[in-house]
Amino acid sequence: MEQLLLAWYRRHGRDLPWRGTHDPYAILVSEVMLQQTQVERVVPRYLRWLERWPTAAALADASTADVIREWQGLGYNRRAVNLKRAAEIVASSGWPDDLTELPGVGPYTAAALGNFAFGRPVLPVDTNVRRVQERTRHKFGPASSQALMDLGATVCLARIPRCGVCPLGAGCPSRGARFEPLRRQSRFEGSFRQRRAHTLRLVAERPCSTTKLDAEVVAALAKDGLVSVGSSLVTLGSG
Ligand code: SF4
């Protein structure tokens, strides 16, 4: 099954810019961006980010305010602050053996970074990979990770898999099955997340008076290091 998958990947794998590198910093940037943002939206932002800050040292030297501004539009802005903190650690003391010691790096991101950058024999299991493994009931090895991600993203889709074009169809016990719709992501409109995004956008443009902003949102943003609250003004970054 693994060989069929890899042969399919050689012909149909997605050509994504972070796949052409083993630079751990570049891969960390891509993985953090991909945590909660779709691939198509990440590609141009990843390229722009690396042009602006090509190394961990360059990002470590950047101001937090600039980093948050550059992140605008990708959502979940806390990731930008964590990425900068991670770059500071790497720039001053190198990559830790346990990659989860870096801010914003959980077990999945550590596995992806370990595999794609450091060649470690671990399979990063995201939702696409998990789905393909569950449906095929096959345990794939670390060399198949990119191929599994692509198969899950383009063929073995969540609700209606495209079994007719699947390279694993002949041996897959789930071939032809249909699946329940996934739980929808909670609405962004009117949510606390939207209020956070709106307030951060205002502060990113220029420092704002505390009295003009939503106090609850400002407190949450400050806790995440996205803004600093002075006596009368709220400014971008943690000061
Ligand atoms: S045959 Fe269908 S269910 Fe099985 S892995 Fe392929 S796309 Fe998924």
Residue of higher predicted confidence among 75 and 8: 8
What separation in angstroms does the CA of 183 have from each of 158, 159, 180, 186, 187? Answer: 11, 11, 9, 9, 12
Q: Is 183 a residue whose pLDDT tops 70?
A: no
Mean pLDDT over the full length of the chain: 93
Q: How many angstroms separate the alpha carbon of residue 81 from the centre of ligand 1?
A: 39
Q: Is 123 a residue whose pLDDT tops 90?
A: yes
Tokens 């209606």 sit at which residue? 160
Span 224-235, pLDDT tens digits: 999 999 988 999
Confidence of residue 129 (pLDDT cuts 50, 70, 90): very high
For the question of residue 31 being annotated catalytic, the response is yes
The predicted model scores a pTM of 0.86
Q: How far apart are CA 31 and CA 149, in angstroms?
A: 13
Instruction: Average the pLDDT over 14-25 and give the result.
Output: 95
Q: What is the pLDDT of residue 34?
A: 94
Given ligand 1 and candidates 4, 129, 166, which is best to mutate, with the most ligand atoms within 8 Å of its CB?
A: 166
**CB-count burial class (<10 Å; 0-12, 13-18, 19+) for 166:** buried
Span 44-55, pLDDT tens digits: 999 999 999 999
Instruction: Average the pLDDT over 166-171 and give the result.
Output: 95
Q: Is 197 a residue whose pLDDT tops 70?
A: yes
Instruction: Average the pLDDT over 162-184 and give the result.
Output: 88
Q: What are phi and psi of 145, to 5 degrees?
A: -60, -50
Confidence of residue 90 (pLDDT cuts 50, 70, 90): very high
Q: Is 189 a residue whose pLDDT tops 90?
A: no
Give residue 85's Cα distance to chain centre. 16
Q: Is 40 a residue whose pLDDT tops 80?
A: yes
Q: What is the pLDDT of residue 143?
A: 94
Nearest to 98 by CA among 75, 76, 118: 118
Q: How many angstroms separate the alpha carbon of residue 103 from the centre of ligand 1?
A: 36
Q: Which residues contact 223 (CB under 8 A, 6 or more apart)?
A: none
What separation in angstroms does the CA of 95 have from each of 115, 120, 169, 234? Answer: 14, 14, 41, 34
Q: How far apart are CA 118 and CA 24, in angstroms?
A: 7
Residue 5 CB less than 6 A away from ligand 1 = no
Q: Is 103 a residue whose pLDDT tops 90?
A: yes
Q: Is 63 a residue whose pLDDT tops 90?
A: yes
Q: Which residues contact 18 (CB under 8 A, 6 or more apart)?
A: 26, 27, 29, 30, 46, 116
Q: What is the pLDDT of residue 185?
A: 64
Q: How many CB atoms lie within 10 A of CB 104?
A: 20
Residue 147 CB less than 6 A away from ligand 1 = no
**CB-count burial class (<10 Å; 0-12, 13-18, 19+) for 72:** middle
Q: Is 148 a residue whose pLDDT tops 80?
A: yes
Name the CA dihedral angle for 125, 9, 18, 41, rounded to a multiple of 10 degrees: -80
Write out the two tokens for 218: 């400002």
Instruction: Average the pLDDT over 70-82 and give the result.
Output: 93
Q: What is the pLDDT of residue 184?
A: 65
Instruction: Average the pLDDT over 159-165 and give the result.
Output: 94
Q: What is the pLDDT of residue 36?
A: 85
Cβ–Cβ under 8 Å, residues 123 and 88: no
Tokens 């360059």 sit at which residue? 58
